[in-house]
Structure formats: C-alpha cells, structure tokens
Structure 1
Amino acid sequence: MAAFRRAAAMGAQWIETDVCLLGDGTPILFHDHTFERTIGPSRKVREAEWAEVRHWRSHLPWDGDPALTAIPRLDEALQEIHRLGLSLNLELKIHDGEGDALVEAALPLLRKHADDGGSLLISSFEHRALEQVREQQTDWDLGYLCAGIPPDWQAIADELRLASFHPEYRSLTAARAQAVLEAGYELYAYTPNRAEEVTDLRAWGVTGVITDDVREFADWKEVFHL
C-alpha cells in the first residue's frame, strides 16, 4: 500500500491495482501468479494461504515504512484507499480458472466500499468475470481489459454494459480510438511510463493512462497509478 500513499501525496485521484485469490479463499492485492518475482518464494498464489502470506514482505526497494511492503488483504486495502480519498480501478486477476470464486469473495467487500461512498471501477481481461459482476451489480462501472480492442467491441460493450475499454497502449489506432470515444465509452491505455510514448493517444482524446509513473502524466484529465 506504499504506492497508494505515494500516489495520493503526488495528487493522483485514481489508483489501479489487482485482486487475486489465495488457496484458502482470501482475496489479496497481488499481480503475479507466483510470489517469486517480488517476494521470493516460488509458490503459486493459488497454493498459498493467508496464515503464511501475512508474514511475507516485498524485497523490491522502498524507502518508506517496511510494514507498507506487506501484501494486503482486499478488505485492508479498501480501508486505506477510502482513508486516502482515492478512487479505485480494481482488476480481477484470474490465474487458474478461479474467476467465479474470486468474484464471490470480492463482491461483499466491494459493496461495503461502494456503500461507504468509495468510487469504483471493476476491470478484467476475463469476460466471464465481468459478466458475473454485471449479473449481481447492475449499476457499477465495468472496464474491459484487452491486448487490443477487438473487432466486436461494440457487441461486448452492449452485453456487459461497459463504461470503458482498457487496451495496451501500442495497440491503439486513431480510427479505433475515435470510434470507441464517439460511442460514449472512456478509453484508458496501459502501461506507458513516459509521456512521449503516448503523444498520439493524447491527440486522439484518450481519456487517460494506467501507468507506473504518475509524475509523467500529471497534467492529463485523469490518471491511474499502478
């Protein structure tokens, strides 16, 4: 959660992060399918339990409070995000076919967050996960993550009642960006980390970016921070 505090201190209004499911059914904020790259143990996320994960710390450099490098449960993170006054773009990260279980574990916590006034956008690469959320939450904003916006994007948007598309930034073309924006959807591109990488996207009117470095995009209309 160290990045959340830093993003808030730098003026970011939104953050983007991933939620996935441990083997014991605990939803945590974590990106990878194993803990090896950032934590050390070569365990799969779906094989670990909260009783052990709660003691692990990231070995990536951080110049703040070491306690902030712990892996948070979703409920802990939502409390901190609410305290910081940040809006949340939460990606449902599915590693081994556990999408239904992840949605069922996360939704009660997200409902409480929304009921407490938290601003929320749910995104995923997994069509079924978004479909499951939409079946239970008719009024939430949903975002469709994709390597590139597919040819049948309008049908997907209609089916899921999407608010936005989130394509890989190098995949976008001017024509596709114009079509999506003119149809009334927001468009957030991932994951450029230098402003010069997305000069064209800005000219095309892309709504914002999902980035590791919020400093590069401070003057955009809306910036998400990884």
Structure 2
Amino acid sequence: MTTPWPYPRWIAHRGAGKLAPENTLAAFKLGASHGYRMFECDVKLSADGVPFLLHDATLERTSTGQGIAGEQPWAALSRLDAGSWHSPEFAGEALPTFESIARYCLDQGYFLNIEIKPTPGLERRTGEVVAEHAARLWEDAAVPPLLTSFEPEALEAALAAQPQLPRGLLLDSLWTGWLETALRLDCVAIVCQHTLWDSSSVTQAKSAGFRTLSYTVNDEPAAQRLWDLGTDGIITDRVDLFSPAS
C-alpha cells in the first residue's frame, strides 16, 4: 500500500525555472513569489567537501568560473558571480551552499527535492555527504527532503548513510532493470522524463508502490496528459504559467 505523500503536486525546477539564474537563492525567492512551496535543486561537492548548488559539472554556463566545479575549493567557488549570465538584474548573485538553501526552505516552510548531482567519479561520496547534511538540517522537520539522482551509486550511498530519508530514482530512459533498481534502493518515487510515462509505465510503477513524478513539463497539454495518467507530481520551469494551487 502506498504511504501518504506529503509533498505538493507542483515543483519549481532549479528554483524558478528560467525566470531567474538557476540554483540560486534569487531563483528560490522568485519561485516562492509565484506561490510555489516545493523546489528542485542540484547539489554537488566542492573539492573540500562543501555541498553547494550547481547543475553542470563545469562552471562556464552558469557562472563567471571556469573548469570543473568539483575540483575547486569552496572559498574560490563562493566568490563567483552566478547571476549575470542570466540577466543584468541578477549580477553578483552567488553560488549558494546547500546549507543556506536548506535553512531558507526550513525557515519558510518550503519542501525540497534535492537532486544529488555528483562530479563524475564521486557518486558514492556525494550521495553520502548530501544525505548526512540533509539528515542533520531536517532533523526536527515534520517532512524530510526528497533525495533523487540519476546515479544509482549515489542513491545507494544515501541509503546506507541515512536510510530514513526518502529517495527517488531519476530516469531519462526506461533502461532494463529500472523498476528492480528502484525497488533495490528502497525508493519511494520514480521521477521520469515526462514523455516516458504512459499507461503501462505508470501502472508498473504504481503497482510496485512508487509515486510517479515528471520533469521538465512546460506546457499545458503535457501537464494535463500526466494528470490524466494519475501521476503524482510535476517539475516545471514555467512557474509563471502553472498555478501551484491547481
């Protein structure tokens, strides 16, 4: 039997989708201004083990930095401008630590979907450290964050470190053994690229007791198709289009 699901149906992708520089505090605040109460973000480790928010392995696309982010110490990463690439109004926005974003969400009563986004080769270490930090930060919270990853090794390490934290397997294809892997990792959810969900895959997932979430859904027909299939949550960039109260 599926356990009660404590999370909202709508989740803001990387804070506010494309309306603000992704994975920054400014994005979270903008997403919240549109009424969103749950946010997705990407977390990896600096060279000295500080969890921080960044999607790419490299820094060039979303900051003034260069090279592989995970090979640089937090002191250097913290000085980068992670906002001006998006638009002048966000110039000077910093890369946030995971702890700062966690405390913002906890203070405001928001929910968080943490995608564990390891630098290649650091899957297990990243899963372990992110889970340890999440367990400490949410120790007194009624609803824990949802830890997700495309990397089974990262989820395996999170499971070993903090088994009480809920996990979800991210999928960009329905590769052989996806359902068995999610079961082995004791996941509560499967988070698919949204076109992968159809009546067959939803039935498989739900029959095995999983919640079904989708990324990244940015138009109304796609969203309606997913609700009609009976899925449980949508991650979107279009915080300006979809009302999270719907």
- TM, length-normalised to structure 2: 0.81
How big is each residue's C-alpha offset from its partner over 1:45-96, in whole Å with a ceiling of 9 and x where there is no partner?
12221111111112212646x55x2101111121111112111110110122
* Equivalent residue, structure 1, for 2:104: 80
Matched, 1:61 2:99: no
User: What's 2:193 paired with?
Assistant: 168
Paired amino acid for 1:90: I
Contact 2:144 2:166 in 1 (8 A): no
Which segments of structure 1 move beyond 6 Å, counting only runs of 4 or more? none
Structure 2 counterpart of 1:35:
59
- Does 131-140 or 24-33 show the bigger shift? 131-140
Q: Distance in 2 between matches of 1:137 and 1:108?
A: 7
Aligned CA-pair RMSD: 2.0
Partner of 2:241: helix, strand, or coil? helix
Sequence identity, in percent?
26
Deviation, structure 1 residue 169: 1.0
Equivalent position amino acid for 1:6 in 2: L
Cα distance in structure 1, aligned partners of 2:42 and 2:63: 16
CA change 1:157–1:125 in 2 (3 A) is same
| Displacement of 1:146 | 0.8
For residues 202 and 71 of structure 1, do their structure 2 counterparts lie closer, same or farther at Cα, with a shift above 3 Å needed?
same
Which of 99, 123, 127 is the aligned partner of 1:103? 127
User: Which one of 22, 44, 47 corresponds to residue 20 of structure 1?
Assistant: 44
Moved more, 163-172 or 181-190: 181-190
How big is the shift at 1:119?
2.8
Select the residue among 121, 144, 153 that pairs with 1:128: 153
What 5-or-longer segments of structure 1 have no aligned partner?
222-226
Compute the displacement of 1:213 (Å). Answer: 1.7
Tell me by how many angstroms 1:220 deviates.
6.5
Q: Which moved more, 1:105-114 or 1:204-213?
A: 105-114
State TM-score, norm by structure 1.
0.88
Match of 1:89 among 105, 109, 113: 113
Q: How many residues align?
A: 219
AA in 1 matched with 2:37: Q
1:169-211 CA distances to partner (integer Å, 9 max, x unpaired)? Answer: 1222221112212432111111122222333222101111111
Instruction: Call closer, same or farther: CA 1:178–1:214 in 2, change over 3 Å.
Output: farther
Does residue 149 of structure 1 match 2:179?
Answer: no
Q: Is the 8 A contact 1:46 1:96 kept in 2?
A: no
Contact 1:13 1:86 in 2 (8 A): yes
The answer to whether 1:177 aligns with 2:199 is: no
Structure 2 residue 172 is the aligned partner of structure 1 residue 139: no
